[in-house]
Amino acid sequence: MFRWSINRFCAGEEKRVGTRTVFVGHRPVSETDAYVEQKFCDNRIVSSKYTVWNFLPKNLFEQFRRIANFYFLIIFLVQVIVDTPTSPVTSGLPLFFVIIVTAIKQGYEDWLRHRADKEVNKSSVFIVENAKQVKKHSEKIKVGDIVEVKADETFPCDLIFLASSNDDGICYVTTASLDGESNFKTHYAVRDTTGLQTDDDIDSLTATIECEQPQPDLYKFVGRINIYRSNQEPVARSLGPENLLLKGSTLKNTKKIYGVAVYTGMETKMALNYQGKSQKRSAVEKSINAFLVVYLCILVSKATVCTTLKYIWQSNPFNDEPWYNQKTIKERETFKILRMFTDFLSFMVLFNFIIPVSMYVTVEMQKFLGSFFIAWDKEMYDEEIKEGALVNTSDLNEELGQVEYVFTDKTGTLTENSMKFIECCIDGHKYKDGISEVDGFSHTDGPLRYYGKAEKCREELFLRALCLCHTVQIKGGDNVDGLRVNQECWTYISSSPDEIALVKGAKKYGFTFLGHEADYMKVQNQKNEIEKYQLLHVLNFDPVRRRMSVIVKTSTGKFLLFCKGADSSIFPRVQQDEIQQTKVHVERNAMDGYRTLCVAFKELTQEDYKKINDQLSEAKMALQDREEKMARIFDDTEADMHLIGATAVEDRLQEHAAETIEALQTAGMKVWVLTGDKMETAKSTCYASRLFQTNTELLELTTKTMGDSDRKEERLHELLLEYHKKLLQDFPKNSGKLKRSWTVSQEYGLIIDGSTLSLILNPSQDSSSSNYKSIFLQICLKCTSVLCCRMAPLQKAQIVRMVKNTKGNPITLSIGDGANDVSMILEAHVGIGIKGKEGRQAARNSDYAVPKFKHLRKLLLAHGHLYYVRIAHLVQYFFYKNLCFILPQFLYQFFCGFSQQPLYDAAYLTMYNICFTSLPILAYSLLEQHINIETLTSDPRLYMKISDNAMLQWKPFLYWTFLGSFEGLVFFFGVYFLFQNSSLEHNGKVFGNWTFGTIVFTVLVFTVTLKLALDTRFWTWMNHFVIWGSLAFYVFFSFFWGGIIWPFLKQQRMYFVFAHMVTSVSTWLAIVLLIFISLSPEILLVVFKNAKRKNHQVTKRLPSSGTSTIFMLSQTSSNHSFSWNE
């Protein structure tokens, strides 16, 4: 998933062929060999983006890559080069303000990264050199150095584990800073180096390590160590992830360890993983770009119209400038086309404020600051894990309000991933609860009574398999003479909750796992006897094999292989006559919603084991394609086994998971469950979580419905056409907004499994049904819910991509808790990670992380709804207020002979977007609640009112544009009619053009600010402060700029203009009247809505508990006036 971040090392991880050789302690293999120091990167961590020398050019280059910034830079250069009507300051100052603010923000963030880097790089470490410990800074560590790390210290680089204070060569670490997993992980030293527990011993080691080049996967490592001893053949041992201690991990429950550095600095796995992931962009940004194009066209049109009309007007000799004006003579001597072009540029500069440059910085601030409200939400804080919501990407806040498809994992997401052992079956006999001395723990009930009980030896074999076939470790308890006592203090630790449940289940029935001692696993049987088994090999679980095995040697010398895994993985590998009696129980347990695992065993001869051991040893030594070679050996080894039985483990549904899914569906979202579980288990969970209702008709595309393998594709095609025809009858083509209305009488649900999906997405070459995918997609889109079971991680991402790329590009959201969900989380528009029990890979790669699935309800229905409404209002408001600002300037040209005379003073042009109108809309976009959060959460239907980017469609955009045009006309012509008598005072003093422009500007500032006040439904002290404070600041600045407060300004053209203006009663009357006329459409709309609300109160009794939905919706401002009655 982070493949691109290592391109500087190689072309790609899959094609990596390079290896590195590390000399332990920088010692040559033999004394006759000369040691040549190898060149690897040092251990400095550099997470910063800039340096003192490149900050300015690099930051400026990145900022001017944005089209809006580059556009205003061009306008500024035009003002500098061409004789334009406004000063370069008018466009330069807002641009430089945006650039400087952004640069300060990015520079501060980078300074924090520099400070964090310095803290890490200057931390102290101890390196063993010449049998002595040398204290150095972490950044001085080189590849090949032997490092000592003590308890609770963090590993300074990636180390190969050589020895620890424990005689068995084991250490425990936590990797919370890497993947969020807080449980202890066990790492092992190579058995040939476990005895090197002092500085002298470790300094005597002569060895080389061959390993792969750096790559970011935290869970993969391939290498081998060659140990050289005098007068002996060198010994080669394989190295894997269990031998690698990662930078950022912390040593726990171990006094000290020795390790040799293999990856340092920016080549450590932690550094490679923290180089970021691909950026996601929201649909709102696309709307902003579309609106920008429209306003750019308006700008060009205005400039073209004014340029044309200027030359038409000047074609009349009486309208041209007089003969004594030297500029006219000079102009007549230049080319007319050049003059027209420079005039066009001048008009472009004059009207360029219609493009809101400051909107970008406001949007960035709104997203950044707004993300804190999610993290601060106390209702999304989980007491169990002591954590709340986490925002990894603030760019997608508004996208949370536009989700149409939700793709969710099952285990750990809908369910708790807290496993409880329920029952098991052995040789077809059901065992559940209860123990008795007479019959062991056999228990029959219901229809299974006639099964009797299995043989005692088979029962014990099954329980031994549960106690041995796992990777569970024991934490706590006291160790006396090799035996653990005080079992009440034990804690089982494992990366999989299933394994802990099975070990606890075996303990309940008399077989207790006592932990590891060197290479042995200890088990206490029903007779309280201690049994020891030598652990020879662990064939680890992986999502492809869907099983795990162990090979052990008994005290009598027998070699046994125990295997557990999914039924689909185990059944093909056991004797076929043993399957049926167990299969009945597995299917019944799955129908009850339990997670099932099958258990098998195989006895190996001495020759069989020797062959397997030789093959595994050879494969483990391979540096290239090790995993593929191991997989082939595992496949051959886990064959011809004997089925013992199966287990059933319950994974309870998470609290409020069903209510959350119901709310999401009511909100118009389609919920798909993508899981690796078997169909029956997943289907039961879907009914329990209300994804499927009792009246939902299920359409199945599974291996079971495909039937005979010879004609699978034909049967698939028949089913696809049958389902398609059925759905088309119930969903006629003319049904408009089907996806947002669940008004149809019959609901359909689709169930598909991984193998059938492979047939659909990857049909055979000779298949005539190339339209499988399109028919399947149409079926999916017409179903209210979909269950995809037996899904591989890659298939989950394929499903998300398929829906994401359909017509209309619906907004998709993926939510999961495990590493197998990362691919679909990264693929969806919005990725949500659950901080679950399967590690934090999902949360680490997500855009947002929440503790529980139930928190998705508030995240989407409340936060998502509000963020979308806020930012949509912000965008529309910015375009509206800038249109109000520039339209009077455009109209003024018709009354000044198109001479490019500015209507507003340069200070007002500059300060309008920066100071006078910026803070109120920022506060609104952070704090507004047009509908209170409780109503939004309790009534999911409100979410549909803003779906499909409703507030940034062309209809509301045209409304805002009309409103801006209307108010611009009122501003200009209202003041124009006031100036029909230019003497506005009783003393006959005449007001000039700067007074005219200042009156227009005053009406403008008050109107657009009061418009926002009218739109505000949720008032806080912050709203009051910024709205009334902005108006007060405008008045204060006008007096200041007019020379009243600061007399040195008296030489400029605005001297005493504002002060004289406010002394006129006519001006006061005009300002108040024009503000009222401008806002009258909004006021009338509010009055009309209130009257409508009162009418509804009479005709329909409102809920007594509080404010009704209709009431809340009726208060929305005109730009987002969505009510149930529309």
Active site residues: 409
Listed residue (177, 163, 134) closest to 271, CA to CA:
177
Residue 516, classified by CB atoms within 10 Å of its CB into exposed (0-12), middle (13-18) or buried (19+), is: middle
| Secondary-structure percent of the chain, ordered helix, strand, coil, rounded to 5 | 50, 20, 30
CA distance 111 to 921: 30
Cβ within 8 Å of residue 578, ≥6 positions away: 642, 643
**Helix or strand run (H / E) with residue 415:** strand 415-426
Q: At what angle do helices 993-1015 and 1021-1041 cross, to 10 degrees?
A: 180
DSSP 85: S
Listed residue (990, 722, 593, 667) closest to 856, CA to CA:
667
Residue 337 CB: number of other CB atoms within 10 A? 8
Give backbone dihedrals phi and psi of 207, rounded to 5 degrees, phi first. Answer: -160, 160
Contact at 8 Å (CB) between 498 and 511?
A: no
Residue 280 CB: number of other CB atoms within 10 A? 15
Residue 384, classified by CB atoms within 10 Å of its CB into exposed (0-12), middle (13-18) or buried (19+), is: exposed
The 3-class secondary structure across 886-917, one letter per residue, is HHHHHHHHHHCCCCCCCCCCHHHHHHHHHHHC
And the tokens for 820?
């197998």
Chain centroid to CA 853: how far?
15
Give backbone dihedrals phi and psi of 963, rounded to 5 degrees, phi first. Answer: -60, -45
Listed residue (298, 293, 307, 294) closest to 347, CA to CA:
307
CA distance 1008 to 1021: 20
| DSSP characters over 859-883 | IIIIIIHHHHHHHHHHHHHHHHHHH
- Strand partners of residue 154: 250
At residue 694's C-alpha, the angle toward residues 689 and 697, to 5°, is 105
Cβ within 8 Å of residue 521, ≥6 positions away: 467, 468, 513, 515, 532, 533, 535, 552
Contact at 8 Å (CB) between 168 and 70?
A: no
Q: In what order do the strands lie in the sheet with 670-674?
A: 390-391, 848-850, 830-834, 812-816, 405-408, 670-674, 785-789, 748-753, 697-701
Phi-psi region of 858 (alpha: psi -120 to 50; beta: other; left: phi over 0): alpha
* 1050-1061 as b/e: b if 16+ CB within 10 A: eeeebbebbebb
The DSSP bridge pattern shows strands 785-789 and 748-753 to be parallel
Amino acid in position 103? A
And the tokens for 299?
């700008």
Cβ within 8 Å of residue 392, ≥6 positions away: 846, 847, 848, 849
SS3 state at 186: strand
And the tokens for 901?
């005379």
Contact at 8 Å (CB) between 160 and 241?
A: no
Residue in this structure with the two tokens 């049994």, named with its chain if needed: 531
